Amino acid sequence: MKADEIKEGLFMLLALAATVFGVVVLAALLAYTFVEAAAWLDLQFLTSPPSRFPEKAGIFPSLVGSIMAIALVGVMVLPLGVGAAIYLEEYARKNWLTKLIEINISNLAAVPSIVYGLLGLGLFVSTLGLKPGIVLVGSLTLTLLVLPIVIVAAQESLRAVPFSLREASLAVGATKWQTVKSVVLPSSLPGIMTGVILALSRAIGETAPLIMIGVATATFTAPKDIFSTYSALPMLIFMWTDMPKEEFLHGLAPAAIVVLLAIMLSMNAFAVYLRNKFARRLR
């Protein structure tokens, strides 16, 4: 018994050490980034276009481009991802074909993002003839990237709804669609929305797929519509880290990273808010 207690204590210490190490490294990286970014974060930085002069450079066109692209991704991925999850969980027969499709969707969620960039280049640019580097092509490519993630997250949320709720709805005369619409979807909505927003948080920080489809590293005007060429914040950060002047690498790039982190943390906070809000309604 004493040996088991010693082993348990050692395991707890090991787990605690791993946790502390991860937190300390993350805190050090964030502190280093914030210290280097502090002197450059101001209104001029947020509202100005890029420039070869560090003191005049800003992120406004790339910031607008990222927001437009990720908003379009959300519009496309929500109905496609949730619709596919509903079909697979509620309507599709449970046979080898359905199992094969679900396994492949899970595998697609782990495919490197640059592969989706190649797919977007071949499908949307070469096959469909869309102009490379526009907001629409970037959004379609990022939609392909996060669609498997949204489908898997939505499926898990749908599976978490007790089957007894479905049976009760069907027992009082509701149709399959009425059960899904009025019982299953509202119960699974917190998990679905959380999965969607976390997937969008990943998409907004991607660089490799955007490079493959010809998204500009920097533009001097914000995109006006989905057919305009655009630049994204990760692309601008990538460009600044390769600039010869030290101010770009140790000032502007960290400042843009802080803005990107702020957007991602805001999206994650919004996901938590939605989950808690819908969870309270369900109670």
Q: Domains of the chain: which residue ranges?
A: 2-37, 45-282
**Conformation bin of residue 221: beta by default, left when phi > 0, alpha when psi is -120 to 50:** beta
Contact status, residue 129 vs residue 198, Cβ threshold 8 Å:
no
Residue 65: both structure tokens together: 């481009």
Query: pLDDT tens track of the chain, all 283 residues?
Result: 577 777 888 889 999 999 999 999 999 998 998 988 888 888 898 989 998 888 888 899 999 999 999 999 999 999 999 999 999 988 888 888 888 988 999 888 888 889 999 999 999 999 998 999 899 999 999 999 999 999 999 999 898 888 888 888 888 888 888 888 888 888 888 888 888 888 888 898 888 899 999 888 888 989 999 999 999 999 999 889 888 888 888 888 899 999 998 988 888 888 778 777 776 666 6
User: Residue 167 class from Cβ within 10 Å (0-12 exposed, 13-18 middle, 19+ buried)?
Assistant: exposed
Distance in angstroms (rounded) separating the CA atoms of residues 49 and 54: 11
Residue type, 138: G
Please report, for residues 82, 90, 107, 224, the alpha-carbon distance to residue 101 in angstroms, rounded to integers and kept in the order given: 15, 15, 10, 39
- Write phi, then psi, for 216 (nearest 5 degrees): -70, 145
**What are the residues facing 216 on neighbouring strands?**
231
The closest of 152, 157, 167 to 279, measured between CA atoms, is: 157
> Under CATH, domain 45-282 is a member of which superfamily?
MetI-like (1.10.3720.10)
Sign of CA dihedral 44, 45, 47, 48: positive
pTM for this model (two decimals): 0.87
User: Residue 261 class from Cβ within 10 Å (0-12 exposed, 13-18 middle, 19+ buried)?
Assistant: middle
Q: Is 66 helix (H, G, I), strand (E, B) or coil?
A: helix
Q: Is 83 helix (H, G, I), strand (E, B) or coil?
A: helix
User: Residue 126 class from Cβ within 10 Å (0-12 exposed, 13-18 middle, 19+ buried)?
Assistant: exposed
Please report, for residues 22, 53, 73, 241, the alpha-carbon distance to residue 202 in angstroms, rounded to integers and kept in the order given: 20, 31, 12, 21
Give the DSSP per-residue string, 202-265.
HHHT--HHHHHTT-BS--SS---STTSB-B-HHHHHHHHTT-SSHHIIIIIHHHHHHHHHHHHH
